[in-house]
Chain A
Amino acid sequence: MIATAAPGWFLEHAYVIPLIPAVAFALIIAFGKRIPDTRIGRYTIPGGGSLIGVASMLGSLFFAAGAALQWIQYTDGENYVAAVRKSWVWWQSGGIEIGLGQQIDGLSVMVLLLVAFISTLVQIYSLEYLKGDRRYTHFFASLTLFSAGMLVMVLAENMVQLILGWEIMGLCSFMLIGHWWEEKANSRASLKAFFTVRTGDIGLLVGTAIVGLSAQKWITANGLQDQYSGFSIEGISRWALAGDSQYKSVLTWGAVALFIACIGKSGQFPLHTWLPDAMAGPTPVSSLLHSSTMVVAGVFLVARLYPVFFEGLRILDTNVNLIAVIGGITIIVAALLAFVQTDIKKVLAYSTVSQLGYMMMGLGVGAWTPAVFHIWTHAFFKCCLFLCAGSVAHSGSHHSFDMKKDMGGLWRKMPVTFVTWTISSMALAGVPFFAGWYSKDEIIDIAGGNQYWVFFAIGLAGAFLTTAYMTRATYLTFFGKARGAAAGIHDENHSDAHAPAPSAHGAADAHDAHDAHDAHDSHAGPHESPWLIKGPLVILATLAIIAGLINAPAFKIFKFEEWVEPKAMPVSLTGETIHEGSARNISVGAFGLRTSSEGESERKPVAAEGDGHSPTEGESGAEEHSAGYPGSAIEEGHLTGDCGTPGFVPAAGTTCYAPGVIHHEFEWVKALPAFLLVVLGFIISSAVCVTLYGKKRRPLAGLTERNIIARGLYKFLWNRYYLDALYEGVIVRGIAHPLARAMYWLNQNVFDGIVNGAGRSGRKVGEITYKYVDQGLVDGVVNGSGAAARGTGTALRPTQSGKVSQYGALLFAAAALAALILVLVNS
Chain B
Amino acid sequence: MLLNQFLLLGAILFAIGVYGVVARRNAVLVLMSIELILNSVNINLLAFALRNGGDPTGHTFALYVIAVAAAEVGVGLALVLLVYRNRRSIALDELSEMKG
Contact = CB atoms under 8 A, between A and B. Distances in A.
Q: Do A and B bind each other?
A: yes
Interface stretch (A165-173, A560-568, A642-650, A800-808): A800-808
Nearest to A740: B100
B22 interface: yes
A805 B25 contact: yes
Nearest to A796: B100
Contacts of B97: 802
B96 A802 contact: yes
B23 interface: yes
A804 B95 contact: yes
Nearest to A804: B92
A794 to B, nearest CB: 13
B23 A805 contact: yes
B28 to A, nearest CB: 14
B18 interface: yes
Interface string B58-100: 0000000000000000000000000000000000110111111
Contact of B93 (A796, A798, A805): A805
A805 B92 contact: yes
Contacts of A39: none
A808 B21 contact: yes
Contact of A805 (B22, B98, B99, B100): B22
Interface in A230-279: none
Contacts of B93: 803-805
Contact of B24 (A799, A805, A812): A805
B76 to A, nearest CB: 12
B75 to A, nearest CB: 16
Contact of A802 (B18, B30, B99): B99
A352 to B, nearest CB: 40
Contacts of A805: 21-25, 30, 92-93
Contacts of A809: 22
B58 to A, nearest CB: 12
A817 to B, nearest CB: 13
Nearest to B97: A802
Contacts of A801: 96, 99
Most buried by A among B57, B96, B100: B100
A800 B99 CA distance: 5
A798 B22 contact: no
A798 B98 CA distance: 11
A809 B97 CA distance: 19
Interface in B8-58: 18, 21-25, 30, 57
A342 to B, nearest CB: 41
Contacts of A797: 100
A417 B25 CA distance: 72
A801 B100 CA distance: 7
A800 B25 contact: no
A384 to B, nearest CB: 51
A678 to B, nearest CB: 56
Given A808-B22, A809-B22, A812-B22, A798 B92 contact: no
Nearest to A816: B18
Interface in A785-827: 796-805, 808-809, 812
B18 A812 contact: yes
A803 B24 contact: no
Contacts of B57: 94
Nearest to B98: A802
Contacts of B100: 740, 796-800, 802
A814 to B, nearest CB: 12
Nearest to B23: A805
B15 to A, nearest CB: 9
B78 to A, nearest CB: 17
A808 B95 CA distance: 14
B33 to A, nearest CB: 10
Which residue of A94, A797, A798, A804 has the most chain B CB atoms within 10 A of its CB atom? A804
B22 A803 contact: no
A808 B21 CA distance: 7
Nearest to A801: B99
A796 B100 CA distance: 8
A800 B98 CA distance: 8
A460 to B, nearest CB: 52
B99 A798 contact: yes
Contacts of A799: 100
Contacts of B18: 808, 812
A253 to B, nearest CB: 27
Nearest to B27: A804
A812 B15 CA distance: 10
Contacts of A740: 100
Contacts of A803: 92-93, 96, 99
A4 B97 CA distance: 70
Interface in A670-693: none
Contacts of B92: 803-805
Contacts of A800: 98-100
Contacts of B95: 802, 804
A35 B24 CA distance: 62
Q: Which interface residue of B18, B22, B25, B57 has the most chain A CB atoms within 10 A?
A: B22
A809 B21 CA distance: 8
A291 B38 CA distance: 52
B82 to A, nearest CB: 15
A250 to B, nearest CB: 24
Interface string A569-593: 0000000000000000000000000
A740 B100 CA distance: 9
A26 B17 CA distance: 50
Contacts of B23: 805
Contacts of B99: 798, 800-803
Nearest to A810: B22
9 contacts: A798-B99, A800-B100, A802-B95, A802-B99, A803-B93, A805-B22, A805-B92, A812-B18, A812-B22
Interface of B: 18, 21-25, 30, 57, 92-93, 95-100
Task: List the 3 shortest-distance A-B pairs measured between CB atoms, nearest first.
Answer: A802-B99, A802-B96, A800-B100
Interface of A: 94, 740, 796-805, 808-809, 812
Given A798-B99, A800-B100, 4 more contacts: A796-B100, A804-B93, A805-B30, A808-B22
